[in-house]
Structure 1
Amino acid sequence: MVESNIVDELMQSPEAPIIASELQQRLRKEQEKRQAFYDSLSAEENKVEFINGEIVVQSPVKRHHGLISGNIYSMIKTFVIKNGLGEVFFEKAMIRLTRNDYEPDICYFDTAQVAEFNEETSLFPAPRLVVEVLSPKTEARDRGVKFQDYAYHGIPEYWIVDPRERTLEQYLLPQGDTTYQLHKKSNNGDVEVQALPGLSLPIPAFFDERKAQAEVERLLTATPK
């Protein structure tokens, strides 16, 4: 939903037709650039995103960042596979939203969404859960444009994981809203994954490979949900 006050303000301007025409031209050029971005993806090995008309190439992941992402991914994926609940992707799934394209650190799609995919699917819709692990170069986007865009497109659950503070911020999207609400912020205890009822993960395991492996083993032997 477009912010009505922005549209109302524009409609009060005598230059509204000129502004609208200029905006259409710029968006048309942006879409041409976006198509060129898609055409280049097969040759791009680094994590790359298209954000507000700009191609953003990420630096190679740092070891600590990769370990944390891997720990979270392994626990969620174990639960999802064992219970036949869809698919989980790690870093290289391109999420195509209205204007922008993102490659989240981790994203989860439920069974209904997966039923629409095929072996050639390379651009994915808004998932049910997104996890972003912060880094100094990505924090502004993870807390800024992505935070807004994920909510606007109805992604019901968004996690921001801070390696420096060793904390999880779990954001949920109230039904019918387009703004996330902070549901949990903690560096201890468990987090209940709202997108996956029945899954509760120990937050310290996000930052400790041995604890993550122990949790994976527990999930493998647990009674299926």
Structure 2
Amino acid sequence: MMGHALRQPGFSLEDFLAWEETQPERHEYLHGETFAMVGARRVHNLVAGNLYMVFRQHLRGTPCAVLMETMKLRVADDALFYPDVFVTCDRQDLRTEREFTAPTLIAEVLSPSTEAYDRGQKFAQYRRLPSLREYVLVSPETREVLLFRRDSAHGLFTLHDFSTAPALECASIGCTVPLVDVFEGIDPLPDEPSAEMPPSGA
């Protein structure tokens, strides 16, 4: 989750990487500016963890890796991010320990402070990645689940809204994720039925 800018344009990516090694917190980098990562809320971590676990279990035994927000994703020489969850099947990525460059799927969990950025400027940067096939946005607050899928013929991303569907269909990795698994552990919305056990003798 990105915070306010700490440095102004002109800070090179190499300078940023060297500087961040000395910092206790993580930062993202875009067009010479450095942004502190703000702390995530409980629901954010739960949804990101749910996606990670489902993807990892599905891809177990395949030449793909599922990574979380502590891993750097380098888009280009002017952009570096920490996606909430991403999947890579690239051979070079599977050998690296520091910066990943060829994700197949990226998922971001939305929050009020970063939603506009994740939908807009960050997605614009992610679209620069030729390897990217799908981009997933999940809102714990509204239960919105959106997937942008790249058309293989024209390279354009098409929106698929799974918010009211029974499951999220991630075609790029052949994974179907029931929405109940995406939001497991999250308190129900006011108009949703409670999952509590009925009273004894009911």
Same fold? TM cut 0.5: yes
Aligned pairs (5 A) from 1:3-14? none
169-178 or 59-68, larger mean C-alpha shift: 169-178
CA contact (8 A) 1:151 1:179 kept: no
Q: Which residue of 1 aligns with 2:30?
A: 51
Whether the aligned pair in 2 keeps the contact of 1:87 and 1:114 (CA below 8 Å) is: no
Match of 1:95 among 73, 97, 108: 73
One-letter code aligned to 2:55: I
3-state SS, counterpart of residue 102 of structure 2: coil
TM-score by length of 2: 0.79
**Are the counterparts in 1 of residues 27 and 37 from structure 2 also a CA contact under 8 Å?**
yes
Query: Match of 1:12?
Result: none
Q: Does the 8 Å CA contact 2:162/2:168 hold for their aligned counterparts?
A: no
Contact 2:64-2:94 at 8 Å conserved across structures: no
Change (3 A) 1:160 1:131: same
Q: Deviations over 1:23-43 (max 9, x none)?
A: xxxxxx73x532121012333
Structure 1 residues 179 and 53 mapped into 2: Cα distance closer, same or farther (>3 Å)?
farther
Normalising by structure 1, what TM-score? 0.71
Structure 1 residues 109, 53: closer, same or farther in 2, change over 3 A?
same
**1:131 pairs with 2:110:** no
**55-64 vs 146-155, greater mean Cα deviation:** 146-155
Map of 2:200 onto structure 1: none
Provide the aligned length of Structure 1 versus Structure 2: 176
Task: Give the corresponding residue for 2:134.
Answer: 157
The whole-number CA distance in structure 2 between the counterparts of 1:61 and 1:188 is: 27
- The SS at the match of 1:209 is coil
Q: Which amino acid aligns with 2:137?
A: I
- Tell me if structure 1 keeps the 8 A contact 2:73–2:99: yes
Q: Counterparts of 1:131 and 1:206 in 2: how far apart (Å)?
A: 12
Deviation at 1:176, TM superposition (A): 5.2
Change (3 A) 1:123 1:78: same
Residues of 2 paired with 1:48 and 1:130: CA distance? Answer: 18
Q: CA RMSD in A?
A: 2.1
Instruction: Identify, as 1 or 2, the structure richer in strand.
Output: 2
- Structure 2 unmatched runs, 5+: 1-8, 187-202
SS state at 1:148 partner: helix
Listed as ranges, the matches of 1:18-97 within 5 Å are 30=10, 32-81=11-60, 83-97=61-75
After superposition, where does 1:116-195 map in structure 2 within 5 Å? 117-118=94-95, 121-154=97-130, 155-175=132-152, 177=154, 179-195=156-172
Structure of larger gyration radius: 1
Gaps of 5+ in 1: 1-28, 211-225
Structure that is richer in helix per residue: 1
Determine the C-alpha separation between the residues in 1 that align with 2:149 and 2:119.
14
Percent of matched pairs sharing the same residue = 25
Q: Distance in 2 between matches of 1:101 and 1:58?
A: 12
For 2:26 and 2:116, the matched residues in 1 are separated by 17
Q: Name the CA distance, whole Å, in 2 between partners of 1:79 and 1:185.
A: 19
Aligned twin of 1:215: none
- Partner SS, residue 65 of structure 1: helix
